[in-house]
Amino acid sequence: MRIAILDRTIVRTLIVLAIAQLMGWGSVGLLAIVGSQIAADLQISIAAVFAGNSVFYVVMGLWAPPLAKAFNAFGARKVMIMGTILAAPGFVALAAAHGPVLYFTAWVILGTAGSAMLTTAAYIMLNEVAGSSAKSAIGVLMLMTGLSSSIFWPAAAFLSGLIGWRMTCLVYAAAMIVVCLPLYAFGLPRRPPSPKASSTVPATRKTPAVPAGIFRLIVSAITLNAFVTFGFSAILIELLKAEGLPAGEAVAFGSMLGILQVGARGVDFLGAGRWDGMTTALFAGLALPFAMLLLILGHGTHWSIAGFILLYG
């Protein structure tokens, strides 16, 4: 009975996190769609607009160490609730921006909120709920949230075309309060009280330390990979338009990326144990330059863009 209850709790938590994470990542990815509109409206360069994404990720990273104490003290649920509440004024500030100062301030607010409510927070939440089963639960969540761009890029294109990018930001602000906040507040389980300290400490097997050199290489690889993939995703729609695609086709091709990424994650998830992380990383690392080379040499043809999306995804 205990296992059945735990399973239901994990499933409920996964559903809540999947919906909220889809909305969270989908909403902060709106620059891929409305970046050129913002640049024209604020009279700043498109590079300056996409620098907002950079500010977002840098702020998220800077907040990670301080928030670790908050996650430990209050639990993931409470921190995610606060992050969601903070995200709403971030989108309001973005909608109200008429110059670079408020524009970048909005991304600082959103980066702070993102550090409290997005991926890392969700993984901590699953670890609290699932314990030793957290690895599998995180894998399932990764499959679900990979669709954020496939859902929200077309949605952002539709909304911005209908009501403009500023009102789209306000819609996202409302979604944080009306949808994500209740999901986190009422859909996530409360963290059980910590067990009282015992005078006898159970013996634990020591995990061998990772050599410093290997750790630095791993961190460098992850950082460089994120530099390429996160940055490339932000400018993908504009890049496809620069290749000659109409805006609608660019959004359609770009939205396929999330579906392919989910498919690749699914294969990797189902193939757990058949190949290690290094094999997956090497394959992905080799596929990226081939994908970009295909895009460069294809001169904007549909087959080259489709091949690029397939390999890149």
* Separation in Å, CA 71 to CA 88, 120, 161: 21, 10, 39
What's the average model confidence in pLDDT over 66-90?
A: 94
Bridge partners of 272, per DSSP, are 275
How confident is the model at residue 7, as a pLDDT?
75
- The pLDDT-based confidence of 236 (bands split at 50, 70, 90) is confident
- The pLDDT-based confidence of 263 (bands split at 50, 70, 90) is low
More confident residue, 1 or 291: 291
How confident is the model at residue 43, as a pLDDT?
94
What's the average model confidence in pLDDT over 48-55?
A: 93
What's the average model confidence in pLDDT over 60-84?
A: 93
Can you tell me the distance from the alpha carbon of 153 to that of 26, in angstroms, rounded to the nearest whole number?
Answer: 7
> Residue 168 is encoded by which pair of tokens?
């789209």
Can you tell me the distance from the alpha carbon of 28 to that of 45, in angstroms, rounded to the nearest whole number?
Answer: 19
* Separation in Å, CA 157 to CA 54, 134, 154, 187: 22, 35, 5, 30
Q: Which amino acid is at 131?
A: G
Report whether pLDDT(131) > 70. yes
In the chain, % of residues over pLDDT 70:
84
Task: Return the HEC string of the chain.
Answer: CHHHHHHHHHHHHHHHHHHHHHHHHHHHCCHHHHHHHHHHHHCCCHHHHHHHHHHHHHHHHHHHHHHHHHHHHHCHHHHHHHHHHHHHHHHHHHHHCCCHHHHHHHHHHHHHHHHHHCHHHHHHHHHHHHHHHHHHHHHHHHHHHCCHHHHHHHHHHHHHHHHHHHHHHHHHHHHHHHHHHHHHHHHCCCCCCCCCCCCCCCCCCCCCCCCHHHHHHHHHHHHHHHHHHHHHHHHHHHHHHHCCCCHHHHHHHHHHHHHHHHHHHHHHHHCECCECHHHHHHHHHHHHHHHHHHHHHHCCCHHHHHHHHHHHC
Report whether pLDDT(203) > 60. no
Domain annotation for the chain: domains and CATH numbers: 2-187 (1.20.1250.20), 213-312 (no CATH)
Burial class of 271 by CB neighbour count within 10 A (0 to 12, 13 to 18, 19+):
exposed
How confident is the model at residue 271, as a pLDDT?
58
In this structure, of 32-36, 100-104, 147-151, 160-164, the range with the lowest mean pLDDT score is 147-151
Bridge partners of 275, per DSSP, are 272
Residue in the structure block whose two tokens are 């909220």: 20
Report whether pLDDT(210) > 80. no
Can you tell me the distance from the alpha carbon of 72 to that of 151, in angstroms, rounded to the nearest whole number?
Answer: 33
- The pLDDT-based confidence of 296 (bands split at 50, 70, 90) is confident
How confident is the model at residue 197, as a pLDDT?
41
Q: Which of 66-70, 188-192, 232-236 has the highest mean pLDDT?
A: 66-70
Report whether pLDDT(80) > 50. yes
How confident is the model at residue 277, as a pLDDT?
61
Closest CA to 261 of 233, 234, 241, 289: 233
Q: What is the pTM of this model?
A: 0.82
Report whether pLDDT(207) > 90. no
How confident is the model at residue 76, as a pLDDT?
92
Report whether pLDDT(126) > 70. yes
Q: What is the mean pLDDT of the chain?
A: 83
- 11 neighbors 127 (Cβ within 8 angstroms): no
- The pLDDT-based confidence of 162 (bands split at 50, 70, 90) is very high
How confident is the model at residue 146, as a pLDDT?
79
Can you tell me the distance from the alpha carbon of 237 to that of 132, in angstroms, rounded to the nearest whole number?
Answer: 40
Report whether pLDDT(3) > 70. no
Q: HSE, CB side, 13 Å, CA atoms: give it for residue 177.
A: 12
- 13 neighbors 125 (Cβ within 8 angstroms): yes
